[in-house]
Structures are given as C-alpha cells and as structure tokens.
Amino acid sequence: MIKKKGLLLVVSGPSGAGKGTVCKELIKRNPDFKLSVSATTRAPREGEVDGESYFFLTREKFKEMIGQGGFLEYAQIYSNFYGTPKGPVMKYLEEGSDVILEIEMQGARQVKDMYPEAVLIFVLPPSLEELKKRLTSRGTETEEQVNERLSTSFEEIKQIKDYDYFVFNENNKTTEAAIAIENIIVAEKNKARRYENAIIKKFEEEL
C-alpha cells in the first residue's frame, strides 16, 4: 500500500457561521485528527493552559520565530501577535496525522502560500438572515454593530474564490457539515496527483 501523508485542513468562515462548532464536531468524530494550537504574545487568561489553549510566547521569542520562518501564518492584532507554529504541524503531517487549522482568511492565504498542499475549506451560514439571527442571539452587540458585522461577513464571503471547497453549516446540522468535510478528506487523499510518483514506483518495483 501507499503510505499517505497527513492532510492540512484550513477551515475559515465569517463570524457566526459556526466554523468552531464544525471543527469540534469533526474532532469528536475523528479523535486521531490534530487541532493545531496557536501561539500568542498576550497574557494567559484564567483557566488557560500553555501548550493546550495557546503557546504563550514573549514578543522577543515570537519575533525570533518570525525571522526563522517558524510560522505557517501570523498576524498582529492590536498590540499582540498571533500565529500558527510550523514545527508541530509539519511533524503531525509527516507522521500521517490530519491537522485542522481554524483561522481567518488572511492567515489561510499565508498557509496556502507556505504550504500549497493545504486544503482550504470555507464554512458558510445558510443565509445572511440566519447569520443575523445568530449574531443577535448572542446579545453582546447593538443592532448597528450586528449590521456592521453582516457587511463585514459579506465581504469575507466574497473571498471564497481563494478556497478549494465550501460547506454550509445549516441549523442543527453540524454533524452533516462535519461529514461533508470528511468526504472532502477522503477525496483529497485519493487524488492521483498527490501520489503519482509513489504509485508508479510501487508498480515499477513489481515488474
């Protein structure tokens, strides 16, 4: 049999689409999948564990890793840095484990540039009307802020052209969204172009 490397899945989507819920369901259904842990320069919050919630780094260490090409993607958000350490992800992939990155669009493009084999999946809400309901139900924002979020979400949805696949996260159908991603993984792992050299070598050795 052909030994297959792990797949790097990048999952994005507008706020309220439920990408985090879909990723949790995917991990629940597939315990062998690895969920990448991000690094940050912000201080730990109560209950957060270094190496599980985040890798908590000093600004000096974070910048040192940037200089060494140690991140698949990173960004500065306000006064803190956030990024995906490259080392653990590549180790998992070489071992044959599938890795899930739940990140924003800017980071997704950086990952694709650094690791073209990554598979980018965009999680969509069923409609903007439903998205508005989800945002409103949180009760943390004014109607004006919700409308601003909707405008931002629409601009984010336009970036779907940068992605390989899309999945709708319908109400109460998170499991179906997770299954759709599982089907994408199976299809990607059986793409001939990923393993053409290994397949030719296998049968050549049998001549």
Residue 6 DSSP class = P
| Structure confidence at residue 195 as a pLDDT band (50, 70, 90) | confident
Contact criterion met (CB below 8 Å) for 83 and 67: no
pLDDT at 140: 78
Checking if the pLDDT of 16 tops 80, the result is yes
With pLDDT > 70 as the criterion, what percentage of the chain qualifies?
100
pLDDT in tens, 94-139: 999 999 999 999 999 999 999 999 999 999 999 988 888 888 887 7
| Structure confidence at residue 142 as a pLDDT band (50, 70, 90) | confident
- pTM greater than 0.85 (yes/no): yes
Lowest mean pLDDT among 67-71, 115-119, 127-131, 181-185: 127-131
Quick one: tokens of 88?
Answer: 């653990």
Residue whose tokens read 């049998």: 206
pLDDT at 3: 75
pLDDT at 70: 96
pLDDT in tens, 19-61: 999 999 999 999 999 999 999 999 999 999 998 889 999 999 9
CATH number for the domain formed by residue range(s) 37-96: 3.30.63.10
Rounded to whole angstroms, the Cα distance separating 161 from 173 reads 25
Residue whose tokens read 């650094």: 114
| Structure confidence at residue 146 as a pLDDT band (50, 70, 90) | confident
What is the maximum alpha-carbon separation in the chain?
Answer: 70
pLDDT at 101: 95
pLDDT at 149: 86
pLDDT at 143: 85
**In the chain, what are the domain boundaries?**
1-33+98-207, 37-96
Question: Does the domain made of 1-33+98-207 have the CATH classification 3.20.20.70?
Answer: no
Q: Fold identical between 1-33+98-207 and 37-96? A: no
On average, the pLDDT of the chain sits at: 92
pLDDT at 1: 72
Contact criterion met (CB below 8 Å) for 188 and 7: yes
